[in-house]
Amino acid sequence: MQNKENKGNNIEELLSSDLEFEYAVAKDVFPNIRRIVAPNPSPYTLYGTGTYIVGKGEVAIIDPGPNIKSHIEAILEITKSEKITHILVTHTHSDHSPAAKPLAKETGAIVMGYGPHGNFEGGEEGADYDFDPSHKVVDGEIIKGLDWNLECIHTPGHTSNHICYSVLGSGAVFTGDHIMGWSTTLVSPPDGDMGDYFKSLEKMFIRNDKFYIPTHGSIIKNPKNFVKALIGHRKMRESQIKKHLEKEEKISISDLVAKMYPKLDKRLLYAAGRSVLAHLLHMKNQEIVSSVEGTNNLSWYILN
């Protein structure tokens, strides 16, 4: 989620919504990698989900996308002279994984991912609870194809089951929604966890990758600077929260959102509230803030 009025942050200068694409058409975006953009544009997906085809002849599909008939047909048409052997998902949100099942039924490909979506009481809006991979990958696992090898990198935070996939020998990593090219990432509790997200960013920072290929947005060519800026952005948000709590005896999340995102698109206000909650829970675990039940749900205050 991007707060575009905050131009002073380094991450804002690095984000871009520029993307060359045409729906139902594959575009070469990296050696041995093609992208098809699904027709599901929204404030949360930019122009739509980027589905990637890795390899030639015998190929892997990464993030098959939403269960939209025209998108699945486009994948099958583009690969009609090839064999889809693997279908990999980065995580179980409805714009990433639902097409895996019908695509596997058509092709016989093995479906791979970290596991089902986290099962929390009340459920999560936008989660794909039907996804259950035929092969559950683990951190560090190597998936081998005809002319490609992918390393699995467990990066919880956006979701508990988020996986990035490094294309071995290329310097490129498919980063799913853990690191996006056009916006900062939504972290929505309870499956989303800000503490885990910080740790996963730090995990990526110590690697020596040269390119990030996100599911939404353009290829990122300066990974270390980008991750450093993302970490700085998140720390800035927590400093903002602390500053506002220092001025108020108690404050609600909706009031924090109004103060922190004064010009945000109204369609993104709910997401902003979820992100602020994730930060508050992280700060609560660090014993910086606490909360009490009030007339406006929870009210938060700073600990002395």
pLDDT reported for residue 295: 55
The gap from C-alpha 198 to its chain's centroid, in whole angstroms, comes to 13
* pLDDT, averaged across the chain: 93
CATH (residue range 235-302): 1.10.10.10
Asked if residue 104 has pLDDT above 70, the reply is: yes
**pLDDT tens, position by position, 138-169:** 999 999 999 999 999 999 999 999 999 999 99
- In the chain, CATH 3.60.15.10 sits at 10-231
| Residue that wins the pLDDT comparison between 17 and 221 | 221
Rounded Cα gap, residues 115 and 211, in angstroms: 26
Pick the CATH number of 10-231 from 3.40.980.10, 3.60.15.10, 3.40.50.170, 3.40.50.150: 3.60.15.10
Q: What's the mean pLDDT in 282-289?
A: 96
Q: Are 208 and 173 in contact (CB under 8 A)?
A: no
Question: To the nearest whole percent, how much of the chain has pLDDT over 90?
Answer: 87
Please report which confidence band the pLDDT of residue 9 belongs to, taking 50, 70 and 90 as the band edges.
very low
Asked if residue 66 has pLDDT above 90, the reply is: yes
Asked if residue 7 has pLDDT above 70, the reply is: no
Q: Which residues pair with 27 in a beta bridge?
A: 35
- In the chain, CATH 1.10.10.10 sits at 235-302
Asked if residue 15 has pLDDT above 90, the reply is: no
Rounded Cα gap, residues 3 and 108, in angstroms: 42
